[in-house]
Amino acid sequence: MKRLEQIPVKGEGRGNPLARVFDELTNFCRSRSLFILHYCTGCGAIELPPAMTSRFDMERLGIQPMVTPRQADILLITGYVSIKTLKRVILTYEQMGAPKYVIGICSCTVNGGMYWQSYATAKRLDEYMPVDLYIAGCMPRPEAVIEGMRHLMRRIENGEARGWEDYYRRYDHYLGNQQALFGDDWQTPTDVIAEARHYGLLGEQTLGPHTELLQQVQRPLEALEMRLGHGPEHES
């Protein structure tokens, strides 16, 4: 066990063949056990029930729905995203543990689709968070959704789906686009910079003018007040 612990499993250029095998095995297992959180933002969501149920049966690929971001691997955005909704989408994405993947379903996530002229809709999802895969169409059929999933599985197995690393490495870029849309005082409760440091992904573009602005406006999280039978409503 002690020898195993000495094997570097993180970082580039590892020379230990056992560590490489271990990484490949991890990637293979990861690609065959994917929990998806579908954020059903638009009409494309209607294609997911047939993709998951008996006719197309996505679960045979090891893919199944998950109800919380904490345990999900894939965030599915299924159509147009209004500016209000995008705030929740970003918050949800940041709550997911790494490695995590984003799939944009429908043309609306690629370029705004038929809402390209709308004042209330975000046009390109990948300006605000890294998108690993787009499945275009208005709306894409379940076959296309499943083929997209297979494609993502291959990329995960080959260690190529690394968009989540880009969010940490270029956080200032993504945060800048978010601030341009939501205002200078935009913030989420997630400490992305600390997470970047934790994963060893703090790069030259993680920090910049936008993270400086964030630090000026950021309010510290306040603990939620817990009332278990001691509040005034319980006093007689």
Q: Which residues bind ligand SF4 (CB under 6 A)?
A: 42-44, 79-80, 106-108, 113-114, 138-139
Point out the residue whose Cβ comes nearest to ligand SF4. 79
CB of 42 to ligand SF4, least distance (A): 3
Of residues 24 and 116, the one with the C-beta less far from ligand SF4: 116
User: Rounded distance, CA 236 to CA 234, Å?
Assistant: 6
Cα–Cα–Cα angle for 150, 156, 158, rounded to 5 degrees? 105
SS (H, E, C) 52-113: HCCCCCHHHHCEEECCCHHHCCEEEECCCEEHHHHHHHHHHHHHCCCCCEEEEECHHHHHCH
Q: Is the peptide bond before 209 cis (omega within 30 degrees of 0)?
A: no
Q: Length of the chain, please?
A: 236
Of residues 40 and 192, the one with the C-beta less far from ligand SF4: 40
Of residues 44 and 130, the one with the C-beta less far from ligand SF4: 44
Of residues 43 and 98, the one with the C-beta less far from ligand SF4: 43
Phi-psi region of 34 (alpha: psi -120 to 50; beta: other; left: phi over 0): beta
Of residues 82 and 205, the one with the C-beta less far from ligand SF4: 82
CB of 108 to ligand SF4, least distance (A): 3
Long-range contacts made by residues 214-223, C-beta under 8 angstroms, separation at least 24? 214/175, 214/179, 214/186, 214/187, 217/184, 217/185, 217/187, 218/187, 219/187, 221/189
CB of 27 to ligand SF4, least distance (A): 31
CB of 154 to ligand SF4, least distance (A): 25
CB of 69 to ligand SF4, least distance (A): 21
Of residues 34 and 108, the one with the C-beta less far from ligand SF4: 108
What three-state secondary structure class fits 119? coil
